[in-house]
Amino acid sequence: MSEYQLEIKQVVDYPRCRIYRKFIQALIEDQSIRLGGSSDLFYYTVLCSYANFRTSYKRIDGISYTIYPGEWLCRISELAMWFRTRFQHQAVSILQDLQERHLITYSLLGRGKLVKFKILGWQKHNRVLDYNAPCSKDNGFFFLPVSIANELLSQGRCSEMDALLDLWINTVYNDEQVQGSDAGPVVYLRNGTGSPLLGYTELAQRWGISKATVGRYLGKLRSQEYISVLSFPGAHGSVICPNNYLSTMFEVSDVMVDKDEIAMLLHIGLTLPEDKREEEEYGSVSVSENEHSVSNPYIAYILQKVEEVLAVQGFSCFFCPKIQYKLLPLSPDCEGEVFHISGDVVEFKALLVILCGESQELFRFELRLLPEVERR
């Protein structure tokens, strides 16, 4: 059988940015990026990076606490360290400000030594797993709504840290509507022009700082190799390219970013087996009733590869016994064939819907099997 490329593209329909927790941990530790001014976006992002994605239990000073999805419990001293505040009451004041904006709620416990916070609307933008287990805080990812990021940026004079986060959140790659994004990740502020060119005046208005300060921010971020700035003569503006964006934000170099939703696109080398092994060797597969005759062993083999690849990307729910798949024809009316064999060439295109239980939809992916010759 011929060699193939399996294309896996995440399908999402609302603006949110996938951020890996390791990236936020690195920013917390990088003391060279200043928080002077307004750093509300950084504070909120840090809280999101610690929020639970399933229910867990934490024992502190002999007392066991239940922490639900979107919540976390920590010592105020830890919070002050994350926020880089000199005094603990300053860290609590930051929480109070975010609570007044209806972004979080919090309560003090343990005679004022502990704080438990909750990200409001967490389940709207992040999946919630319905079983209890510890939640790692130094790997995996979470989704940050772009609308909330923009709201927090408009509150005052942006710090260096918030400016850096703003650039990374608004980075796109391989978007046919954004000029130059096919060559590499570029910052695009979603202004409808399709041009990634940015001027100091535009960034100064966005960040609430002077044009001279914009130049200082960008110069510092460039010297520390967070970004590259491609300048053009005249009044054209500059193109800002975050360095190591794909590997940092997605932990793999071949993850593609698609439009506002920061979707995922992977190309995986795949060799279909010559002999059709028994279906039970790969596990059972539920396929849409709209389909015609389908080779279940082939589909099971492809889905097994999809599971392996996405598990590496941080989609840990693939190992949950409650996970279910729906495989639909990749067409607007869900009609047509998913699987077709013509001679030695296998054609496969489908919409993979991943469910938790019978009805809770978690993710959607477009799957296409392309002959290797088409990818060269």
More confident residue, 252 or 156: 156
Averaged pLDDT, 242-251: 75
Residue 263: predicted pLDDT: 36
Averaged pLDDT, 280-304: 54
Strands 16-20 and 141-145: antiparallel
Averaged pLDDT, 45-62: 91
> Which of 301, 299, 272 minimizes the C-alpha distance to 371?
272
Residue 259: predicted pLDDT: 27
- Angle, helices 146-153 vs 160-169, to 10°: value is 150
Residue 264: predicted pLDDT: 46
Q: Distance (Å, rounded) from C-alpha 80 to C-alpha 148?
A: 23
Averaged pLDDT, 203-209: 95
Residue 305: predicted pLDDT: 78
pLDDT digits (tens, 9 = 90+) for 308-357: 777 665 666 666 778 887 878 765 544 556 556 566 666 777 888 888 88
* Highest mean pLDDT (candidates 13-22, 54-63, 251-260): 54-63
Mean pLDDT of the chain: 78
Question: What percentage of the chain has pLDDT greater than the value 90?
Answer: 36
Give me 24's structure tokens: 């936020």
pLDDT digits (tens, 9 = 90+) for 98-136: 999 999 999 999 888 999 999 999 988 887 766 566 666
Would you give the distance in Å from CA 89 to the centre of its chain? 32
Residue 178: predicted pLDDT: 80
Residue 68: predicted pLDDT: 92
Would you give the distance in Å from CA 77 to the centre of its chain? 29
- Residue 302 near residue 348 (C-beta atoms within 8 A): yes
Say which residue the tokens 């609570």 belong to: 99
3-state secondary structure the chain: CCEEEEEEEECCCCCEEEEEHHHHHHHHHCCCCCCCCECHHHHHHHHHHHCCCECEEEEECCEEEEECCCEEEEEHHHHHHHHCCCCHHHHHHHHHHHHHCCCEEEEEECCCCEEEEEECCHHHHCCCECCCCCCCCCCCEEEEEHHHHHHHHCCCCECHHHHHHHHHHCEECCCCCCCCCCCCCEECCCCCCCCCCECHHHHHHHHCCCHHHHHHHHHHHHHCCCEEEEECCCCCCEEEEECCHHHHHHCCCCCCCCHHHCCCEEEEEEECCCCCCCHHHCCCCCCCCCCCCCCHHHHHHHHHHHHHHHHHCCCHHHHCCCEEEEEEECCCCCCCCCEEEECCEEEEEEEEEEEECCCEEEEEEEEEEEEHHHHC
Averaged pLDDT, 297-301: 71
Q: Distance (Å, rounded) from C-alpha 296 to C-alpha 282?
A: 9
- Residue 341 near residue 295 (C-beta atoms within 8 A): yes
Kindly report which listed range (157-166, 242-251, 280-289) carries the lowest average pLDDT score: 280-289
What pTM was estimated for this model as a whole? 0.65
Whether the per-residue pLDDT at 359 is higher than 90: the answer is no
